[in-house]
Structure 1
């Protein structure tokens, strides 16, 4: 695998991402959370090391744990990479490893999701963030 550097280019600070000698610009459309990428790669490397598997095999196996994923696309250049990628179908990641990868890759809530959680906050000590009102007893 090529050399990966995040946030630096030729020793100077930059928000460009350089992977295997290719540099991506500062502007992404659609927007990309570049701070998330190093966290995900670090978690993939940790799990791969603990499981004795390649990072690619762990990444593919992890994607196959998602209930909404019906297939994965592999990108093998050599026979060895192809064999390794295909072997991901036989990998069962531990729940702890899946949780570690999910945590590292978790997206920030987007609107309107974040506002729904914000509305549930504790307002002035009222549980659930909602004001309670009790109708007066009828006489």
Structure 2
């Protein structure tokens, strides 16, 4: 396993991060525990979760994933060996059963205390805002469209002050963003720079894969110049880049089979691109999944690649991507496809 550090910290994390959003819905608790056991034994020391998980979100399953992780900590005694990241859910119609206050101080404090309790820990190493409060483009919306009905007022300073209190209390160590735009990242950095003592965002958890390289357009320069590390999620595009949906296949228990509305990586251009990437992988004796993950692993702005799996065999293949170095020829072929079919998934 390869390791790096969270930007501007001494927190050492594996290049592969274990994603957890299926535990409690697609995966049972015992399956989630088996994944944590295997990942840890392979050198993965970075786990990412959220109060929202498992997804799709439902009030009857709210925060089950954090409980599964907390039970593993209690059983294994490995809390001190794991870099643990979680997130507060943002406002949305599908989170109204959680709370409706957005990122008001009381909401952040409530969310943190709830996560700590479920995770059976006194602190989280990284705490992230799962998506912005304001109306902007995320979760498959490619472009920004102003919303005349928006009521959000800039509360970035207040959010950072609340997070500062939690850092001072030792309940969180570092803070990060998720599903964020260049404007949002720079606004948070600007506020922290203007007010010494406020916590500085050090990571951004956004989608990044062969089918969605939009991070490169504006955020990669911010990542490079401002030292904001990418935690790449959906590196296989909801499993599309494993090739399991090619030819119209609908594997039993697969995410898109179970939840057809999770189709942002399934449009005709995304399928066309996936077929082209599959040809490259086959030509060079690689599995499509490992080639796709190895590409993400190779990016200079990457801090960690968040992989998820519903079976141990998938998990083994995904973690194994950490040992694969793509040749210049493979990378060149990938760029040819990208130039022809750039970012087919939003």
Counterpart check, 1:66 vs 2:295: no
From the superposition, tell whether residues 67 and 5 of structure 1 become closer, same or farther in structure 2 (CA, over 3 Å).
same
- Partner of 1:72, secondary structure, is strand
Larger RCO of the pair (alpha carbons < 8 Å, separation 6+)? 2
For normalisation by structure 1, the TM-score amounts to 0.51
How far does the alpha carbon of each residue in 1:44-90 deviate from its partner, in whole angstroms, 9 at most, with x for none? 21122123222111100011122222221112111111111111111
Correspondence for 1:44 among 277, 280, 288: 277
Correspondence for 2:327 among 78, 94, 98: 94
From the superposition, tell whether residues 23 and 105 of structure 1 become closer, same or farther in structure 2 (CA, over 3 Å).
farther
Which ranges in structure 2 are unaligned for 5 or more consecutive residues? 1-242, 249-255
Q: CA deviation at 1:94?
A: 1.3
* Cα distance in 2 for residues equivalent to 1:58 and 1:94: 11
For normalisation by structure 2, the TM-score amounts to 0.23
Match of 1:53 in 2: 286
Match of 1:9 in 2: none
Which ranges in structure 1 are unaligned for 5 or more consecutive residues? 7-18, 109-139
- Partner of 1:70, secondary structure, is strand
- Partner of 2:310, secondary structure, is coil
Contact 1:4 1:20 in 2 (8 A): no
Match of 1:85 in 2: 318
Q: State the structure with more CA Rg.
A: 1
* Cα distance in 1 for residues equivalent to 2:299 and 2:262: 30
- Partner of 2:302, secondary structure, is coil
